[in-house]
Chains A and B, each alone.
Chain A
Amino acid sequence: MSAEQQVKFYQTGTFTVGNRLLDPSKRTVQASIDRRNALTSGHRACQGCGEALGARYVLDAAMRATGGRLVAVNATGCLEVFSTPYPESAWQVAWLHSLFGNAAAVASGVAAALRVKGSDVRVIAQGGDGGTMDIGFGCLSGMFERNDDVLYVCYDNEAYMNTGVQRSSATPAAARTSTTPALGDEPGNSFGTGKNLPALAMAHGIPYVATASVADLHDLEGKVERAMAIHGARYLHVHVPCPLGWGSDPARTIQIARLAVESGLFPLFEASCGEVVRATPIRRRAKVDEYLRLQTRFAHLFDGTPRSAEALARIQALADRNVSRFGLAPRETEHHSP
């Protein structure tokens, strides 16, 4: 069987075509016949799952970066549940799951044991936004503060999807979830102050913090590789649409992820020791409406009422603030009208 025949069907899109134009050393891990398929096919994620896609790219990039000398610790959540229904496992990497809120601490223990044994094996911990930003935040902060040699990856789909789409501290303002129904004076999630976990990670002064999106898998892989080239506590926050929870078309996962970036709602950047060192400018700035309109969790914002118009304006202001804060404005201004 030739190498070409082993490439799977999901790689035949424009991403792969674009990838083939690159210098071989810069091509995506997924284009290589040597890729590990650390999260292999056959698992039980939903169609269009951004987390499954993100996790596969993260793990394979980390496997390439470490020559396969890698172990993974997983928080409870969708990723854990859809990948390991006993007696099946989709993991082709040494993998450990303990609890919802302790992945960062378990990974600290793994890293400590490896250090004591003088091993060169590296550690990745991963979890969803609930396991990372809410219930696991104490352990995560401890791991950061001790600068333990762990890359922690948060797959942020902005709610507790595994338990049926309940609100988390990552749920955006106005979003409808099963615990923030689109009812009453302030339909959907309230406009709180938000919880910016990459900024909280940066406040620990850890050597590497980055955000990434499944809309730009090359960028995601590059960030994993840079993270694995560094020792100490590192944090990667990956934006992963959830068709089930967001009420979006599974075929549009990448498009929606891209609109989150292009609207400015999810800025892509890297930080070193608490300082932003690189932000990805937006090539084509989108209005937040373009992004929100594709998700039924925001459907109530498009009822034409003044209240909804005000909510949309507030969300647009959040995006605009990100754009100015990170200097993301398109180099050639090219606003598309909704």
Chain B
Amino acid sequence: MLKQIEGSRAIAEAVALCRPEVICAYPITPQTHIVEDLSEIVKAGDLGRCAFINVESEFAAMSVAIGASATGARAYTATSSQGLLYMTEALYSAAGLGLPIVMTLGTRAIGAPINIWNDHSDAMALRDAGWVQLFAESNQEAADLHVIAFRLAEELSVPVMVCVDGFVLTHAFERVDIPAQADVDAFLPPFEPREVLDPAAPITIGALVGPEAFAEVKVLAHHKLLRSLDCIPALAAAFAARFGRAAGGLVRPYRTEGAETIVVALGSVNGTIQEVVDAMRADGHAIGSLDVCTFRPFPFAAVRRALMRASRVVVLEKNLSVGMGGVLATDVREALGVDAPAVYTVVAGLGGRAITRASVRAAVEKAQAGTLEALHFLDLDRRVVARELAHEVAR
């Protein structure tokens, strides 16, 4: 059903269609509207016996989800930024226990300095926690990815994080086609847990594992997460077959045929990039772009296939690994190996700074001319930085 709604509302409605049984909520901007909308849906009785639990912290939110999931309930929560970091320990626990929890991450910068606006610092900080991380490009995809996420999580018994750009998507009103309940029910079977706390068949979950077995446990978890690289394309195809539109998948190339330059990015900024590609194609440039939808596990083979024939790759990313550079660009370089196209890192949009078509195009043109630094900061006020660095030296 077509609706003109806020991204958060679209996500809440999609989550509700997945019939969650336990939802935990703790407020943090910009994900708050999602759980507010879900509280309304639950209170109105539209989700049957679903429990909506207002907890006292994000750490508790993920912990309640862990308990619920281990008891065989479909569990969901949402968070952003500091909230994601505050639940870090529980995120690793959920993954280590193989619990198919689905969480929306309304992506946002991390302080200090405190900043509520969008970038991908939060998602990047938890990239090694053992969660699948999917990035939505639009509100339609944000809604659809949740339906896919529950099925993926439960098929593999792994937790899935759907990363949705804070404000840019969560607070944007767009036309979204909300699926029919019958279609979602057909796509997403009821949750059949692998292991469950049950007095009739008592098992010990979460034992202490020593050096003699810990590495094997971790390697098995690695292999399980890698299996989603097979599942995700299959689920994207199954989703398209049932719902008649594309959602998810590993990577999505845009006009990369014959492209000498390919811009790589995560999430909603791909819309801006595609407009730049269109404009530059119209001007005769051989350019395309690649939307990385699945960030963890990282689809090395798919990224390599999509990029290997380009002469240069510009990775535009909304994070800065302080003291290192761009996280996504590092993964892209790893995917390409030696004899690879030149890879430029363009750090953009930190703390919600707008990423304009003009700035993206200017950076791409510099890359084409071979004058772009290996690590470039888009629209940086260089005078401020230079002045402060000079003060440092003077001191």
**A, B from the same assembly:** yes
- A80-B208, A96-B70, A113-B71 in contact; A71/B197 too (CB < 8 A)? yes
Judged by a CB distance under 8 angstroms, whether B21 is at the interface is yes
B74 nearest CB across to chain A (Å): 9
A230 nearest CB across to chain B (Å): 20
A111 to B203 CA separation, bound complex (whole angstroms): 17
A163 nearest CB across to chain B (Å): 14
* Binary contact track A81-103/B, C-beta < 8 Å → 1, others 0: 10011110101111111110110
> Could you say which interface size class chain A belongs to?
35 or more
Q: B68: which A residues are within 8 A, CB to CB?
A: 109-110, 112-113
Closest to B26 in A: A142
A70 nearest CB across to chain B (Å): 6
Contact yes or no, A71 B64, CB < 8 A: no
Contact yes or no, B65 A109, CB < 8 A: yes
A108 to B66 CA separation, bound complex (whole angstroms): 10
Closest to B22 in A: A112
A143 nearest CB across to chain B (Å): 8
A11 to B227 CA separation, bound complex (whole angstroms): 52
Contact yes or no, B199 A113, CB < 8 A: no
Q: A115: which B residues are within 8 A, CB to CB?
A: 49, 51
Q: B202: which A residues are within 8 A, CB to CB?
A: 91-95
Judged by a CB distance under 8 angstroms, whether A106 is at the interface is yes
* Binary contact track A60-80/B, C-beta < 8 Å → 1, others 0: 000000001111011000001
Contact yes or no, B60 A99, CB < 8 A: no
Closest to A89 in B: B204
A59 nearest CB across to chain B (Å): 11
- A98-B97, A102-B90 in contact; A114/B63 too (CB < 8 A)? no
* Binary contact track B54-69/A, C-beta < 8 Å → 1, others 0: 1111011001111111
Judged by a CB distance under 8 angstroms, whether A117 is at the interface is yes
Q: B54: which A residues are within 8 A, CB to CB?
A: 146
Judged by a CB distance under 8 angstroms, whether A107 is at the interface is yes
Judged by a CB distance under 8 angstroms, whether B72 is at the interface is yes
From residue 69 to 107 of chain B, which have CB atoms closer than 8 A to chain A? 69-73, 75, 89-90, 93, 97
Q: B213: which A residues are within 8 A, CB to CB?
A: 86-87
Number of contacting residues on B, CB 8 A?
Answer: 43
Q: A318: which B residues are within 8 A, CB to CB?
A: none
Judged by a CB distance under 8 angstroms, whether A7 is at the interface is no
- A93-B202, A106-B66 in contact; A99/B72 too (CB < 8 A)? no
Q: A73: which B residues are within 8 A, CB to CB?
A: 67
Contact yes or no, A96 B206, CB < 8 A: yes
A116 to B204 CA separation, bound complex (whole angstroms): 23
Q: B208: which A residues are within 8 A, CB to CB?
A: 80-81, 84-86
Q: A94: which B residues are within 8 A, CB to CB?
A: 197-199, 201-203
A105 to B50 CA separation, bound complex (whole angstroms): 17
Judged by a CB distance under 8 angstroms, whether B44 is at the interface is no
A101 to B50 CA separation, bound complex (whole angstroms): 26
B136 nearest CB across to chain A (Å): 26
B53 nearest CB across to chain A (Å): 6
Judged by a CB distance under 8 angstroms, whether B210 is at the interface is yes
Q: B59: which A residues are within 8 A, CB to CB?
A: 101-102, 105, 138-139
A114 to B206 CA separation, bound complex (whole angstroms): 20
Interface centre among B56, B197, B204 (most CB of A within 10 A): B204
Judged by a CB distance under 8 angstroms, whether A13 is at the interface is no
Q: B73: which A residues are within 8 A, CB to CB?
A: 109, 112-113, 116-117
Judged by a CB distance under 8 angstroms, whether A118 is at the interface is yes
Contact yes or no, B66 A109, CB < 8 A: yes
Judged by a CB distance under 8 angstroms, whether A317 is at the interface is no
Judged by a CB distance under 8 angstroms, whether B112 is at the interface is no
Contact yes or no, B205 A95, CB < 8 A: yes
A74 to B24 CA separation, bound complex (whole angstroms): 21
A233 nearest CB across to chain B (Å): 13
A208 nearest CB across to chain B (Å): 21
Contact yes or no, B64 A105, CB < 8 A: yes
Q: B206: which A residues are within 8 A, CB to CB?
A: 74, 80, 84, 95-98
Q: List 24 A-B contacts (CB under 8 A).
A: A70-B199, A74-B206, A84-B204, A85-B210, A87-B213, A92-B202, A94-B202, A96-B70, A97-B205, A98-B63, A98-B66, A98-B206, A99-B89, A102-B89, A109-B65, A109-B67, A110-B70, A110-B197, A112-B53, A112-B73, A113-B68, A113-B75, A116-B73, A117-B73
Known pairs A102-B66, A112-B73; list 11 more (Cβ under 8 Å). Answer: A81-B208, A95-B202, A95-B203, A97-B207, A99-B93, A102-B89, A105-B60, A112-B22, A139-B56, A139-B63, A142-B57
